[in-house]
Amino acid sequence: MQEHNPQDIHQIGPSDELKLEIVRRGSGAPLLLLAGEEALERDAPFLDELAKSYEVIIPSPPGFGRSTRPDWVTGPDDIAYMMLDVVDALGLKNLPVVGFSFGGWIAAEMATKDDSFISKLVLVDPYGIKTGKPTEREIQDVWLLSPDEVMALKWHDDAKGKRDFKSMPEDALHVVARNNESFARFGWEPYLHNPKLRHRLHRIKVPTLLVWGENDGIVTPAYGESYRKLIPDARLAVIPQAGHLPQIEQPQAFLAELKGFLG
């Protein structure tokens, strides 16, 4: 867990209710990274490697990390506009955007609204769409299933997903609790998707890569293929021996796909 820095907190937009935590890692050309709901990317080895080539900018969505969560923020559609405000406030232009899981959903929402600042878009096992019938389960219910069942679906090797909560300091546990609560708040209804997003994805005109863990049981590679078909000229890369977080389970294979795409 990175040490807190008061300079990481930024007021976004005209309302002083909304203050987002924005962490920067590394140096070089900027890259916008939208972490997953657990924010494991912030302490993952692949990020250290990425930070050798880029200044990685990681804003925490409302209610995640140390970002505030105004009551009027109701879902990723709202959060996408706030992240676009972050882009404007920081003067970011012509940069890659990489989003993971819940952060990938936000990145996709952003790109449908405005992709003029994006050079390339990478979505890693994102949620956000539903293409099947109302009775078809395309996204496993992470709140209905037991924690052990979720772990088995989420990880190829679930030992890599275990976290030692007993050894965490109090402030770190507080962040974990906030992240879990906010993820449930924003993903509960409709369940982990925006019914309108699938009808907007055709608006994404920038080069797009979807990266998927071959063993992701939460949203399977078939779900990733459905996503790919909705984004013009998008490509899907599937990483073996990885579940919902290929960047954690197979960092070298993930970095090879990412660097090959970003050039």
Q: pLDDT band at 159, cuts 50/70/90?
A: confident
Give mean pLDDT, residues 63-80: 95
> Taking the domains of the chain in order of start, what are their residue ranges?
6-262
pTM above 0.75, yes or no: yes
The per-residue pLDDT for range 199-208, each reduced to its tens digit, is 999 999 999 9
Q: What is the pLDDT of residues 87-115, one digit of tens each?
A: 999 999 999 999 999 999 999 999 999 99
Q: Is 68 exposed, middle or buried (0-12, 13-18, 19+ CB in 10 A)?
A: middle
Q: What is the mean pLDDT of the chain?
A: 94
Q: Computed over its alpha carbons, how large is the radius of gyration of the chain?
A: 17
Helix or strand holding residue 87 (H, E):
helix 76-90
* CA nearest to 98, candidates 19, 44, 158, 176: 44
CATH class of 6-262: alpha beta
The pLDDT of residue 7 is: 63
Confidence of residue 4 (pLDDT cuts 50, 70, 90): low
Burial class (CB in 10 A: 0-12, 13-18, 19+), 9: middle
